[in-house]
Amino acid sequence: MSKGILVVVSGFSGAGKGTVMKRLLEKYDNYALSVSVTTRSPRPGEEDGREYFFRTKEEFEALIKDDALIEYAQYVENYYGTPRSYVEEQLEAGKDVILEIEIQGARKIKEKIPEALLVFVAPPSMEILKDRLTGRGTETPQVIADRLKRASQEAEGVEEYDYILINDQLEECVDKLHEIIRSEHSRMDRNLDFVRKLQLEAAVFGEKDPCKYIS
Ligand code: ADP
Ligand code: 5GP
């Protein structure tokens, strides 16, 4: 079985990454969503082990020390990191693994795993982003302001991603993401083992007496 693709999905806070991921997993098989570890507090309705593993700063630092995180970053006063073991197991099992992480983490992943696919989820406009972030109603005005400020910094790095996905109509956006990942499986550089095998088989036909291969 071929290995899965590691897909990094980033986007400004409020762009709709969580919503898109949830729908992608409901709609299509073969995806595994990595659950990150964070030091931030759970939002109402969030459960430990489902949206995040909620941990103290000390616990988070112990994970860093044990090399249990593939990457980690600080985002608006909290730490966030990707547990290594789940990602490695799922990729080996042939699943396409999705990391919903911010831009510093995306850069670290690209450095360590160049074949990772980087997708940036953008809102149709920054005005709509502000409305979505406010409308979600889960953050204080101060936290919203911090996140919008962070978006202004992150906007500089959007070109580092392989694809941009505009989250206007949710279903369209989800289907497009699925198509991008599906197409990625057919890229030549992801299929070189198969190509080599085919070339070896083809070479046999190039030998002296082709008649002996035809029954
Ligand atoms: P993120 O995970 O990027 O911070 P969320 O998934 O929490 O963003 O979405 C932010 C808000 O925008 C939520 O209230 C969500 O319901 C809403 N939202 C997400 N996608 C869309 C969309 N395509 N159209 C309208 N509203 C959306
Ligand atoms: P939130 O607090 O809104 O859930 O997430 C804040 C930001 O942290 C988002 O941009 C989200 O993508 C990012 N994030 C979540 N998990 C991780 C992670 O494991 N690593 C990194 N680098 N960023 C993460």
Check pLDDT > 90 for residue 138: no
Separation of 16 CA from ligand 1 center, angstroms?
3
Question: Mean per-residue pLDDT for 14-27?
Answer: 96
Within a domain: residue 122? yes
Within a domain: residue 75? yes
Within a domain: residue 119? yes
Percent of the chain topping pLDDT 90: 89
Output 116 or 207, whichever has higher pLDDT.
116
Question: Mean per-residue pLDDT for 163-168?
Answer: 98
Rounded distance between C-alpha atoms, residue 156 and residue 53, angstroms: 30
Within a domain: residue 61? yes
Rounded distance between C-alpha atoms, residue 153 and residue 163, angstroms: 19
Within a domain: residue 177? yes
pLDDT grade for 211, boundaries at 50, 70 and 90: confident
Within a domain: residue 198? no
Owning domain of residue 161: 6-189
* Tens-digit pLDDT profile for residues 48-104: 999 999 999 999 999 999 999 999 999 888 999 999 999 999 999 999 999 999 999
Q: Is 165 helix (H, G, I), strand (E, B) or coil?
A: strand
What does pTM read for this prediction?
0.93
* Ligand 1 neighbourhood includes 105 CB (under 6 angstroms): no
* Ligand 1 neighbourhood includes 17 CB (under 6 angstroms): yes
Within a domain: residue 162? yes
Within a domain: residue 12? yes
Check pLDDT > 90 for residue 205: no
Domain of 87, CATH number, reads 3.40.50.300
Which helix (H) or strand (E) is 10 found in, with range? strand 6-10
Report the domain count for the chain. Answer: 1
Residue among 75, 125, 136, 139 to mutate when testing ligand 1 (max atoms within 8 A of CB): 136
pLDDT for res 1: 57
For the chain, helix (H) and strand (E) counts, in that order, are: 8, 9
Measured from CB, residues less than 6 Å from any atom of ligand 2 are 13, 36, 40, 71-73, 75, 80-82, 100-102, 104-105
Question: Mean per-residue pLDDT for 110-127?
Answer: 97
User: How many C-beta neighbours within 10 Å does residue 3 have?
Assistant: 15
pLDDT for res 2: 72
